[in-house]
Amino acid sequence: MKLAIFASGQGSNAQVLIEQAQAGTLGATIEILISDQLQAGALANAQQAGIEARAFSPKAFADKHAYEQAVLACLREHQVDALILAGYMRLIGPTLLAAYPERIINTHPSLLPAFPGKDAVGQALAAHATHAGVTVHYIDAGMDTGPIIAQQRVKVMPHDDHDTLTARIKAAEHALYPACVHDLMTVWSRSQ
Ligand code: GRF
């Protein structure tokens, strides 16, 4: 299968996915990395790995539909089968949802339904949660509400601050997310 990664930031998850795809252990190819941020570190990292990277600034379009239409044209040009969100800080709208039903997944740094939305790590620390975690889930029209594919607990240590907890959560994500993508490739390719 042919995948597109969507990332808005540094893209450490994107990087791991690209490395595994190139090593042949993901069971899919990464055709393109798409960002909504012109300066996203993920764009440069992807290019360095020889992956095409495209930025679309939502501000340059009349509305979300027009923005997603442009993104969709690019995805179709690259014959992309599924979308892998990795730190993409924007809700997926009806245009992309309709084009990729049950073919868009995300990783979120909490045990959903706990701490959805922005700064899940900060939310967990503020709530004095004993456990944080990672959730890989399908995307639907809501904010971090789609069906859950896999979860992993990450213990919150007494000395944890935002940086240390984020680092441990990301380490867990870097193993769980590619493993989920790999497993889904078998499931999805059967129903193609
Ligand atoms: C990850 O923690 C992911 O769960 C969340 O955004 C973060 C992106 O990190 N959706 P990175 O850009 O992949 O390092």
Q: Using DSSP bridges, classify how beta strands 131-138 and 148-155 pair: parallel, antiparallel or unpaired.
A: antiparallel
CA of 54 to the centre of ligand 1 (A): 19
Task: Please tell me if the CB atom of residue 152 comes closer than 6 angstroms to any atom of ligand 1.
Answer: no
CA of 74 to the centre of ligand 1 (A): 23
The 8 Å CB, 24+ separation contacts for 91-100 are 91/141, 91/143, 92/68, 92/139, 92/141, 93/64, 93/65, 93/68, 94/65, 94/141, 95/64, 95/65, 95/68, 95/69, 96/68, 96/71, 96/72, 97/139, 97/140, 97/141, 99/72, 99/75
Q: Are 139 and 107 in contact (CB under 8 A)?
A: no
CA of 14 to the centre of ligand 1 (A): 9
The answer, yes or no, to whether residue 153 has pLDDT greater than 80, is yes
pLDDT digits (tens, 9 = 90+) for 94-114: 999 999 999 999 999 999 999
CA distance 7 to 42: 7
Local confidence band at 87 (pLDDT 50, 70, 90 cut-offs): very high
Task: Please tell me if the CB atom of residue 109 comes closer than 6 angstroms to any atom of ligand 1.
Answer: yes
By annotation, the residues acting in catalysis are 108
Ligand 1 atom with the shortest distance to the CA of 8: 12
Task: Please tell me if the CB atom of residue 86 comes closer than 6 angstroms to any atom of ligand 1.
Answer: yes
CA distance 67 to 48: 26
pLDDT of residue 189: 87
pLDDT of residue 191: 78
Local confidence band at 85 (pLDDT 50, 70, 90 cut-offs): very high
Mutate to test the pocket of ligand 1, among 173, 174, 181 (most ligand atoms within 8 A of CB): 173
Q: What is the mean pLDDT of the segment spanning 79-90?
A: 97
Local confidence band at 143 (pLDDT 50, 70, 90 cut-offs): very high
Q: What is the mean pLDDT of the segment spanning 128-151?
A: 97
**Burial track 113-147 (b if 16+ CB lie within 10 A, e otherwise):** eebeeeebbebbbeeebeebbbbbbbbeeeebebe
Mutate to test the pocket of ligand 1, among 5, 90, 107, 177 (most ligand atoms within 8 A of CB): 107
Q: Are 38 and 62 in contact (CB under 8 A)?
A: no
The answer, yes or no, to whether residue 190 has pLDDT greater than 90, is no
Average pLDDT score, the chain: 97
pLDDT digits (tens, 9 = 90+) for 8-54: 999 999 999 999 999 999 999 999 999 999 999 999 999 999 999 99
The answer, yes or no, to whether residue 192 has pLDDT greater than 80, is no
Task: Please tell me if the CB atom of residue 87 comes closer than 6 angstroms to any atom of ligand 1.
Answer: yes
